Amino acid sequence: MTMAVERWTAQSRAGVGGAALVLGALALAPMLIGPGIVDRLTALFIYVILAAMWNALAGYCGLVSIGQQLFFGLGAYATIRIAFAGVDPFLAMILGAVAVGVLAWPVSLFMLRLKGGEFSIGMWVLASIGQLCVKLDPMIQGETGSSLISLNAYGADLRRNLIYWGALAAMTCLLAALFALLRSREGLAIQAIRDNEEAATSLGVRPERTKRRLFVLAAFGIALAGALWLAQAVSFQPKSYFSVQWTAYMIFMVLVGGIGRFEGAILGAVLFFAVETFFAATGVWYLIGLGATAIVFSLYFPRGLWGAVAARTGVQLLPLGYRATNTET
């Protein structure tokens, strides 16, 4: 028998089919569920975006940033700025995210020269600088902040549903784009860079270009998440949007779900969402619990929940890899 390469299996076809059904059901959900749940699910979609983007950078490319709140905050800020100029707030969200993606290009030119820990800390420093710069804008009034007031043009129910559908569409498109990217030859290059940049280069991979594209995609995705968060919360204070807590949440979701696993980031976001829903009211203890869980996972379950499941059962719902068939000679 000659060897061949397969990518889709019956299991992964079922996985993608199941995902499509879930997304379809979620699209119809606002007709059936109460406004409180619509708001909560919107938050979940935003968490999934954040986790997936951080996982793409850290889990697939080895770019561990603890300054992704930069793009979250800038996404929200750019949306307010553009809406303030008279643009429809929903259009402003998209334009704002695109603007942040464009800005991420020159940022990547110098930040990606930093390696390992320098890159991580450098991104945090940059996020703090970003926050200070935004506070200089008279419209933001320092820490007082501002709001996306033009959203008031939409009625409460319509607005809630539009934001819900917007978040669902953003999550779906970003996950699909990431899935397509990681399945392509670029995905192989991204992972090769993570594992050994020198060897990747000698095999024809161009690390700078590859990392830059991923960095810009992640910046765009996280900026869109920031814009959506703003739409839901309406008010904008630099301190809360540029808070490192956002990156801490991303790290938590990815570590617990399974770093470097496409399904892992999504699972992590769902778990984080559940924990938050049930325990957020306990205040400080909730944060201590989150931190302790992240430490336990990184010490004892470094592959995360999905990593452990996949290692034990070989299950892969979203097929990114390649399998050879007929390997026996």
Partner 1 sequence: MTATLKAIGIGKRFGALAVLEGIDFDLSSSAAIGIVGPNGAGKSTLMAVLSGALVPSAGRIEMDGRDITELGAAERSGLGVMRTHQIPKPFLGLTVLENVLVGATHAGAAQGEAAYALALGALDTAGMRRLANRPAESLGLLDRKRLELARALATRPKILLLDEIGGGLTDAEAEELVQMIKGLRAEGIGIVWIEHIVHLLMQVVERLICVDAGRIIADGSPAAVMAHPDVVRAYMGGV
In a 13 Å sphere around the CA of 16, the CA atoms on its Cβ side amount to 13
Q: Is 313 in the site for partner 1 (CB under 8 A)?
A: no
Between 53 and 188, name the residue whose CB sits nearer to partner 1.
188
- Which residue among 192, 216, 222, 305 contacts partner 1 (CB under 8 A)? 192
Report which of 39, 29, 71 is spatially closest to residue 54, judged by C-alpha positions: 71
Q: What number of chain residues touch partner 1 (CB under 8 A)?
A: 28
Site string for partner 1, 259-288 (x = CB under 8 A): -x----------------------------
Total H helices, total E strands in the chain: 15, 4
Per DSSP, 324 falls in state E
Nearest alpha carbon to residue 306 among 269, 275, 255, 264: 264
Answer for which of 195, 283, 284, 313 binds partner 1 (CB under 8 A) is 195
Cβ closest to partner 1, residue 148 vs residue 200: 200
**Length of the chain, please?**
329
- One of 82, 99, 189, 230 touching partner 1 (CB under 8 A): 189
Burial 149-172 (b: 16+ CB within 10 A, else e): ebbeebeeeebbbbbbbbbbebbb
Binding status of residue 5 toward partner 1 by CB under 8 A? yes
With binding defined as CB under 8 A, does residue 323 bind partner 1?
Answer: yes
Within 169-188, which residues bind partner 1 (CB under 8 A)?
Answer: 185, 188
Q: Which stretch binds partner 1 (CB under 8 A): 16-24, 112-120, 151-159, 318-326?
A: 318-326
Is 199 near partner 1 (CB under 8 A)? Answer: yes
Q: Among residues 152 and 184, whose Cβ is nearest to partner 1?
A: 184
| 205 touching partner 1, by CB under 8 A | yes
Using the rule CB under 8 A, give the single segment among 20-28, 122-130, 191-199, 276-284 that binds partner 1. 191-199
Residue 328 is a binding residue for partner 1 (CB under 8 A): yes
Give me the least distance between CB of 328 and partner 1, in Å please.
7
Site residues (CB under 8 A) for partner 1, limited to 56-75: none
Q: Which of 21, 203, 280, 292 binds partner 1 (CB under 8 A)?
A: 203
Q: How would you write 123-182 as a 3-class SS string?
A: HHHHHHHHHHHHHCCHHHCHHHCEECHHHHHCCHHHHHHHHHHHHHHHHHHHHHHHHHHH
Q: Which amino acid is at 287?
A: L
CB 289 within 8 A of CB 240: no
CB neighbours of 117 closer than 8 A, spacing ≥ 6?
none
- What is the C-alpha to C-alpha distance for residues 218 and 269, in angstroms, rounded to an integer? 16
User: Does the footprint of partner 1 cover residue 255 (CB under 8 A)?
Assistant: no
Interacting residues toward partner 1 by CB under 8 A: 3-5, 185, 188-189, 191-192, 194-196, 198-206, 260, 321-324, 327-329
